[in-house]
Every structure is written in C-alpha cells, then in structure tokens.
C-alpha cells in the first residue's frame, strides 16, 4: 500500500492535478468515489477515502468539504429511501388531505367527503357549498393514515435502507462527510523522497536495537485503525507502560545500563503481546501497544498481565523490581485523531505515576 500511496503523489505531480475531487458513483457504498485515487491505490470503490484521510492525518494532503451523505447505521450504505410515515403506526400509506369547514352547520371534515360529482355537498346538512369564504373555508391541511385512520398535522420522516432492508428514524442516519483533497508541500517532499514519512527506509523497526516497530509506523497503523473503527464500528485499544526506575539505572551504570534494561523490557512485552498487536516505543522510554479488536476490559487484563510478569522477571534477572505505570484508552467516537488518543493514554500514565509517588511518601 505504501508504494501505491507514493504513486498517487507522483500522479498528481506529473499530471499537474491540483485537487482530487469526488464524483458521484452508485457502485460506491458512500455514493462517491475519487477516480484517480481508486485507480492508483487499487482498493475497493469508496475505500480510497480511508487512505486519503490517513494521508491527511500524516500531513501529505489537506482537504475541504465537498458534500455530506446519509448512510444506513447498520450497513453504512448510501442507498436510502426517505419516507413520510404515520406517527401512530409507522405506515407509509398516508396522504395529505384538505379539511373543509361548513359555516352554516359547523361541520368539519375531509374535503373528499364533500365531493358529489362536480359539486360540494355538506354530508351533515346536505346543503351545497358554493362560495369559498362565504359558505365554507379550507380549515387546515393534515395527513391521513390509510392503515389506522389517524389524522395528524406532521408526518414522521423515516428511512429504508435499500441495501440491507433496515428501517430507522431519520435522526439515526449517519452523516458521511465527503472531502476533496489537495497535495501539500509535505506531500510533494514525500514524493521526491519516495516515502510517506519524508525519509528513506527504516520505517519498520526502530534503530536502537529494541526490535520494536517505529513510532512513525505505530502512528500510521493507529490512524488506519481509527478509520476502520469509525467506519465499521470495530473496537480497539491502545496501552502505554512506563518503567519507574530508569533514572536509577542511569545513575549507576549510565546510558548503556538503561539500554540493556529497555532491551529486556522490550523482549518481555513482545513475549506477552499477540501477533496482531503493534508494539512500539514512545518518547524513548514508554512502551505503547496498539491492540486491534480489543475492548477496554481485555486491554486492562493484558496490561496487568504484562506488569505482573515484568515485576517477577525483573526481580529474577535484574535484581530489583521494576514497576510499570500504565495508561490505556479504548476507541470512541469522541476521539478525533491519533495524536489525541496517544496524548490521552500518556496523560493517564503520568497520573498513575503521580499517584504512586504520593502513596509512597511517608505520612507526617
């Protein structure tokens, strides 16, 4: 995928395409496609928006709102039939009817009850209504339900998904924002350097011997996971852990001692993580894990298991117990970006460190 993203950047530069503009497409689940991106990225129609939004998060594109599309909350498809329905029985077999009021006898009813041939005859007193405003008035306009005979001034708008058959109130429809995309200076630089990160190579593992994924790669996967969770309503969590005594190791043995401790910790964290998890390092000394398909309780269980294991192994192999401050976050729709989610767990780690420090201080 990374090469095809670079190809897209090259395409825009070589063809002097200033902006990628979505076009209507009935074959796309969201009703639009970006043709150039779809053909270059070779992804299913509609999914090119996910990739383009990832590139926006990476600073390679900027975007502007092009349209908004209503989607079914169940199947996320744009093919919706908006229908006016009865508020009492939800039937869509309703019609708008005029109400007539006969001044002389006070009778009020549907206009069609007054029709007899070409004349208007009051059903109650049988007198003919000749002049509007003199003999009668049009009192109001209402809806009438043919299913339950209810009369109401306003219908309820509901939606029927033509893709999955789900029926729901219009307020439950999802709003998909459709954007147009424009290449940034950073995107042009990435194209010239053949890397979406603006540098050549070295993006899969960090370069200081821990054999963990780089934080750049971690962040890219986090951006991708956020888009996937938003579109398909799939859970995931991130977990961050910070060892408590690296300063002491540095005082006693210098940076080499810290590096050796980090290597041991990296090995133990990887041993306890799953094949699908992305393990990286944040700000040099914080282990951060991306946990796909993981709800909050399971993320906490994973973190506690790692902490317990590190306490035991550090005492056995390093001669002292290493405690890991921990923070976690499960994805929710309130989270707007990868950086926001990372900052959230980093704040929780710092809060736990402060609590641990406060509880260890002697009471006066």
The yes-or-no verdict on residue 122 having pLDDT over 60 is yes
Tell me the whole-structure pTM to 2 decimals: 0.50
Q: How far apart are CA 140 and CA 77, in angstroms?
A: 38
Residue-wise pLDDT tens digits, 126-180: 898 888 888 888 877 778 888 887 878 778 888 999 999 999 988 899 999 999 9
What integer pLDDT is reported at residue 157 of this predicted model? Answer: 85
Residue-wise pLDDT tens digits, 47-102: 899 889 888 877 789 999 999 999 999 999 999 999 888 888 878 788 888 888 88
Residue-wise pLDDT tens digits, 288-311: 999 999 999 999 999 999 999 999
What integer pLDDT is reported at residue 203 of this predicted model? Answer: 45
Q: Which residue has the tokens 């209810």?
A: 150
Residue with the bigger pLDDT between 334 and 238: it is: 238
What integer pLDDT is reported at residue 46 of this predicted model? Answer: 92
What integer pLDDT is reported at residue 205 of this predicted model? Answer: 44
DSSP 126: -
Q: How far apart are CA 328 and CA 331, in angstroms?
A: 10
Domains in the chain, start-ordered, CATH in brackets?
2-76+171-192 (1.10.10), 87-154 (no CATH), 215-360 (3.30.70.270)
- The gap between the terminal CA atoms of the chain, to the nearest Å, is 60
Burial 234-258 (b: 16+ CB within 10 A, else e): ebbbbbbbbbeebeebeeeeeeebb
Q: How far apart are CA 257 and CA 247, in angstroms?
A: 10
Residue-wise pLDDT tens digits, 260-289: 888 899 999 999 998 888 999 988 889 999
What integer pLDDT is reported at residue 52 of this predicted model? Answer: 92
């Amino acid at each position: 995928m990374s090469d095809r993203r670079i190809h897209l950047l090259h395409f825009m530069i070589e063809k002097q395409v200033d902006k990628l503009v979505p076009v209507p497409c009935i074959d796309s689940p969201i009703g639009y496609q970006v043709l150039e991106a779809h053909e270059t990225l070779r992804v299913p129609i509609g999914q090119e928006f996910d990739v383009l939004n990832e590139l926006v998060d990476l600073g390679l594109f900027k975007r502007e709102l092009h349209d908004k599309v209503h989607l079914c909350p169940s199947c996320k498809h744009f093919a919706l039939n908006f229908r006016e329905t009865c508020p009492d029985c939800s039937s869509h077999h309703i019609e708008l009817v005029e109400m007539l009021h006969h001044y002389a006898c006070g009778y009020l009813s549907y206009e069609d009850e007054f029709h007899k041939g070409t004349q208007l005859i009051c059903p109650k007193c049988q007198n003919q209504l000749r002049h509007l405003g003199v003999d009668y008035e049009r009192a109001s306009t209402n809806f009438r339900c043919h299913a339950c005979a209810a009369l109401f001034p306003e219908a309820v708008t509901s939606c029927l998904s033509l893709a999955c058959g789900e029926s729901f109130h219009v307020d439950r429809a999802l709003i998909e924002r459709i954007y147009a995309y424009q290449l940034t200076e950073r995107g042009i630089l990435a194209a010239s350097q053949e890397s979406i990160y603006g540098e050549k190579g070295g993006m899969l593992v960090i370069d200081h011997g821990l054999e963990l994924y780089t934080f750049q790669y971690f962040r890219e996967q986090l951006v991708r996971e956020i888009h996937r969770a938003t579109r398909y309503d799939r859970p995931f969590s991130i977990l961050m852990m910070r060892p408590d005594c690296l300063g002491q190791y540095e005082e006693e043995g210098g940076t080499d001692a810290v590096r050796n401790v980090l290597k041991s910790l990296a090995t133990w964290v990887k041993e306890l993580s799953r094949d699908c998890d992305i393990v990286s390092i944040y700000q040099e000394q914080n282990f951060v894990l991306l946990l796909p398909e993981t709800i909050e309780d399971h993320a906490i269980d994973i973190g506690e298991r790692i902490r317990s294991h590190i306490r035991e192994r550090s005492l056995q192999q390093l001669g002292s117990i290493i405690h890991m401050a921990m923070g976690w976050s499960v994805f929710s729709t309130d989270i707007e970006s990868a950086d926001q989610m990372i900052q959230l767990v980093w704040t929780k780690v710092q809060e736990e460190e402060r609590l641990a420090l406060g509880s260890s201080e002697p009471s006066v």
